[in-house]
Amino acid sequence: METGRIPLIGEPLPQMKVLTTHGPKVIPDDYKGKWLILFSHPGDFTPVCTTEFYAFSKKYDEFKKLNAELLGLSVDQVFAHIKWVEWIEENLKQEVPFPIIADPLGSVSNALGMIHPNKGSETTRAVFIIDPNSIIRIILYYPQEIGRNVDEIIRSLRALQMNDKYKVSLPHNWPNNELIGDKGIIPPPKNIAEIPKRKKEYEGYDWWFTYKDLK
């Protein structure tokens, strides 16, 4: 990765030492062998962020079943994170089981492009999905004004895992696609000689659009 720019999809997450509500951590090293969902929020004690943390916490067991860990982040101090987590547990009756990075100097946020021009010094709503080899596989950005859909993050994680396992592409709204359901799309043929085999070996609409069961 070039110095001075944010990492991109397909590149390793830079190694950083961070302070979290669960103590110091080194990312991504402390998460090797697991998928990591690293997500930033604009600020503690804000309504939209509170709804997101409630949703992430409710779905935590689903992430765990997918061999994934959650790691939050904002530019708030660690004591603010701790108090906010306490507030969520006391008032919304929901434990927040994952750590939150405290980044008051913005070093982590700036390195990952989480602070955007004309949006002040707060972190935007970024999501990095990092695989067990510490490679960035998905980057999502949302503005401060719009909350994320945690189910879509889970869907994206599952799709990445199916891509790794079966070496296929996944269609719109997989596994509930209107055309092929929960099937996976076969990669394009590499040469003309492969074309006659395509519709014989797989289901499909044409030789360039074939698919198969993922079971």
Q: What are 130-151's pLDDT values in tens digits?
A: 999 999 999 999 998 999 999 9
Q: Are residues 124 and 194 in the same domain?
A: no
Q: Are residues 140 and 174 in the same domain?
A: no
User: pLDDT: is 54 or 119 the higher one?
Assistant: 54
Residue 1 has pLDDT above 90, yes or no: no
Q: Are residues 137 and 89 in the same domain?
A: yes
Q: Whose CA is closest to 52, among 120, 121, 157, 124? A: 124
Q: Which domain holds residue 192?
A: 167-215
Q: Residue 2 is encoded by which pair of tokens?
A: 């070039």
Query: In angstroms, rounded to a whole number, what is the distance separating the alpha carbons of residues 199 and 206?
Result: 7
Residue 171 has pLDDT above 60, yes or no: yes
132 within some domain = yes
Q: State the CATH number of the domain containing residue 206.
A: 3.30.1020.10
- Give pLDDT, residue 149: 97
Q: Are residues 214 and 181 in the same domain?
A: yes
162 within some domain = no
For residue 163, CA distances in Å to 100, 142, 147, 159, 184 come to 29, 25, 27, 6, 8
Residue 67 has pLDDT above 60, yes or no: yes
156 within some domain = no
Q: Whose CA is closest to 31, among 112, 102, 124, 98? A: 98
Q: Are residues 111 and 214 in the same domain?
A: no
pLDDT grade, residue 4 (50/70/90)?
Answer: low
Residue at which a domain ends, from 94, 113, 148: 148
96 within some domain = yes
Q: State the CATH number of the domain containing residue 77.
A: 3.40.30.10
pTM: 0.94
Cβ distance 76 to 102 under 8 Å?
yes
Give the helix, strand, coil percentages of the chain, each rounded to 5.
Answer: 30, 25, 45
Q: Are residues 144 and 84 in the same domain?
A: yes
Residue 29 has pLDDT above 60, yes or no: yes
Peptide bond into 175 cis (omega under 30): yes
20 within some domain = yes
Query: In angstroms, rounded to a whole number, what is the distance separating the alpha carbons of residues 58 and 56?
Result: 6
- Give pLDDT, residue 5: 80
8 within some domain = no
Residue 121 has pLDDT above 90, yes or no: no
Q: Are residues 123 and 31 in the same domain?
A: yes
Q: Are residues 87 and 176 in the same domain?
A: no
**Which contiguous run of DSSP H or E holds residue 158?**
helix 150-166
CB within 8 Å of 83: residues ≥ 6 apart = 44
Residue at which a domain ends, from 148, 177, 194: 148
What average pLDDT does range 96-123 have in this prediction? 91
Q: Are residues 140 and 199 in the same domain?
A: no
What average pLDDT does range 43-66 have in this prediction? 98
Q: Are residues 120 and 196 in the same domain?
A: no
131 within some domain = yes
Backbone angles phi, psi at 84, to 5 degrees: -65, -45
1 within some domain = no
**Which contiguous run of DSSP H or E holds residue 100?**
strand 100-102
Long-range contacts of 160-166 (CB under 8 A, 24+ apart): 160/35, 160/129, 160/131, 161/35, 161/66, 162/214, 164/131, 165/214, 166/212, 166/214
Split into its structural domains, the chain has a count of 2
Q: Are residues 87 and 127 in the same domain?
A: yes
Backbone angles phi, psi at 183, to 5 degrees: -80, 165
Q: Are residues 24 and 124 in the same domain?
A: yes
Residue 2 has pLDDT above 60, yes or no: no
Task: Report, as residue numbers or ranges, the catalytic residues.
Answer: 49
